[in-house]
């Protein structure tokens, strides 16, 4: 049987690199892209930063004021996130990738798997050259650099990719896969978070090699059948998930910060109505119908809550979103005594009438 040759491409410091692309003079300066909450000039969080800024200790998720403090005295440049622009760049690169792969699976705005088995005739030697060719082509046409991991399946390609960034290329041949994984900590595997890591530690499992040797039956007892088998296979470098085009975006959402914390329904609805305008427009552009309307709020104690309503039949109009958002907020305010700080609206459960169009829409993906 022929080897599969799978690549994962992950764009380097993506949002910040996009900003460098349209402002070439900032390339050697620390560059920070932030989500500004709009309250005070500096409130918000770092979305990402270039590697120059990272040297000063700037990290994704860090409060912006802290990033500013770390970069004090430098000629750092700060930007507001511009998802639309990053998506345009991303779409151009994905289109180029399509020409190089039999199957392309875009997993986020800056990551995609390419099945290139046929193109390189199952050869990992050829895969190295082929990866360089794709990198050079995208660099020439779009001007963006990225990192590629190559492996016999998606699992190995992903971990290979993470092992050397930026502008990296790491190739793991099938016969090297187990040894490559063996010394790594278990949390490098997709699906092994903090809780699972702790649980595994209690069982004496620290590295992927420990996990690979662990009794599979016992893993099933602890984690359930599906997860137990997944952990066992993954640790043994076994992954048969095909590279396949993903379906629709699962939801369309918008989120915003209120000018002040409040429990006033009219005040909240004023904001959510604005958000709904945007959502309704995107729903119409994409020719979608939705089955579920949800609200999202961050309260004064910074806890977040969501509430959803499933419609009796598919809808596509703005009024349905407005009406259900209103009734969800009315109900929520009746249940909670806290003031509301941020609000969001989301529609999901799509079906489509018109041909698909590619666009990534994130799930309440602001900080």
* Residues within the interface to ligand TTP (CB under 6 A): 10-15, 47-48, 60-61, 110, 165-166
In whole angstroms, the minimum distance from the beta carbon of 110 to Ca ion comes to: 4
Contact 94, 112 (CB under 8 A): yes
- What strands lie across the sheet with 103-108, from one edge to the other? 103-108, 111-115, 6-11, 146-151, 169-171
Which CB sits closer to ligand TTP, 47 or 294?
47
Which CB sits closer to ligand TTP, 47 or 320?
47
- The verdict on whether 111 is a catalytic residue reads yes
Which CB sits closer to ligand TTP, 179 or 190?
190
Binds 60: which of ligand TTP, Ca ion, none (CB < 5-8 Å by kind): ligand TTP
What is the residue whose two structure tokens read 């997709």?
A: 190
- Count of residues near Ca ion by CB under 5 A: 4
Binds 61: which of ligand TTP, Ca ion, none (CB < 5-8 Å by kind): ligand TTP
Among 10, 87, 105, 115, the residue binding Ca ion under the rule CB under 5 A is: 10
Which CB sits closer to ligand TTP, 15 or 223?
15
Within 10 angstroms of residue 220's Cβ, the number of other Cβ atoms is: 16
In whole angstroms, the minimum distance from the beta carbon of 259 to Ca ion comes to: 34
Which CB sits closer to ligand TTP, 165 or 326?
165
In whole angstroms, the minimum distance from the beta carbon of 158 to ligand TTP comes to: 12
Contact 116, 132 (CB under 8 A): no
Which CB sits closer to Ca ion, 11 or 97?
11
Binds 123: which of Ca ion, ligand TTP, none (CB < 5-8 Å by kind): none
In whole angstroms, the minimum distance from the beta carbon of 63 to ligand TTP comes to: 12
Binds 196: which of ligand TTP, Ca ion, none (CB < 5-8 Å by kind): none
> Taking CB under 5 A as the rule, does residue 20 contact Ca ion?
no
CA distance 9 to 107: 10
Binds 37: which of Ca ion, ligand TTP, none (CB < 5-8 Å by kind): none
Q: Which two tokens stand for residue 135?
A: 């990198």
Report residue 207: phi and psi, to 5°.
-100, 165
Out of 41, 111, 245, 312, pick the active-site residue: 111
Pairing of strands 288-299, 304-315: antiparallel
Report residue 147: phi and psi, to 5°.
-110, 140
In whole angstroms, the minimum distance from the beta carbon of 48 to ligand TTP comes to: 3
User: Using CB under 5 A, which residues numbered 103 to 162 contact Ca ion?
Assistant: 110
Binds 166: which of Ca ion, ligand TTP, none (CB < 5-8 Å by kind): ligand TTP
In whole angstroms, the minimum distance from the beta carbon of 59 to Ca ion comes to: 14
Cis peptide before 166 (omega within 30 of 0): yes
Q: Which residues carry out catalysis?
A: 111
Return residues touching Ca ion (CB under 5 A).
Answer: 10-11, 14, 110
């Amino acid at each position: 049987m022929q080897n599969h040759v799978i690549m994962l491409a992950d764009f380097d410091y993506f949002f910040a690199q996009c900003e460098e692309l349209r402002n070439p003079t900032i390339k050697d300066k620390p560059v920070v892209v932030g989500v500004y909450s709009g309250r005070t000039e500096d409130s918000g969080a770092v979305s990402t930063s270039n590697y120059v800024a990272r040297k000063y200790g700037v990290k994704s998720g860090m409060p912006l004021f802290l990033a500013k403090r770390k970069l004090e005295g430098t000629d750092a440049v700060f930007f507001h996130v511009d998802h639309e622009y990053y998506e345009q760049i991303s779409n151009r690169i994905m289109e180029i990738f399509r020409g190089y792969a039999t199957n392309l699976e875009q997993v986020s705005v800056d990551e995609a798997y390419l099945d290139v088995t046929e193109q390189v005739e199952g050869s990992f030697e050829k895969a190295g050259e082929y990866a360089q060719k794709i990198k050079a082509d995208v660099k020439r046409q779009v001007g963006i650099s990225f990192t590629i991991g190559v492996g016999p399946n998606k699992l190995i390609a992903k971990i290979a990719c993470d092992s050397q960034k930026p502008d990296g290329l790491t190739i793991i041949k099938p016969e090297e896969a187990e040894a490559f994984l063996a010394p790594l900590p278990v949390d490098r595997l997709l699906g092994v978070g903090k809780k699972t890591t702790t649980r595994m530690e209690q069982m004496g499992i620290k590295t992927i090699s420990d996990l690979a040797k662990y009794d599979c039956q016992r893993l099933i007892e602890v984690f359930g059948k599906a997860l137990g088998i997944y952990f066992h296979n993954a640790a043994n470098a076994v992954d048969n998930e095909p590279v396949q085009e993903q379906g629709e975006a699962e939801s369309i959402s918008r989120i915003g910060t209120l000018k002040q914390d409040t429990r006033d329904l009219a005040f909240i609805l004023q904001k959510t109505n604005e958000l709904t305008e945007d959502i309704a427009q995107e729903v119409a552009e994409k020719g979608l119908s939705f089955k579920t309307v949800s609200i999202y709020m961050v309260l004064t104690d910074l806890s977040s809550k969501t509430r959803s309503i499933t419609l009796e039949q598919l809808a596509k109009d703005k009024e349905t979103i407005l009406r259900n958002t209103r009734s969800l907020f009315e109900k929520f305010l009746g249940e909670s005594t806290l003031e509301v700080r941020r609000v969001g609206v989301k529609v999901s459960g799509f079906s489509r009438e018109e041909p698909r169009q590619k666009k990534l829409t994130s799930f309440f993906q602001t900080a």
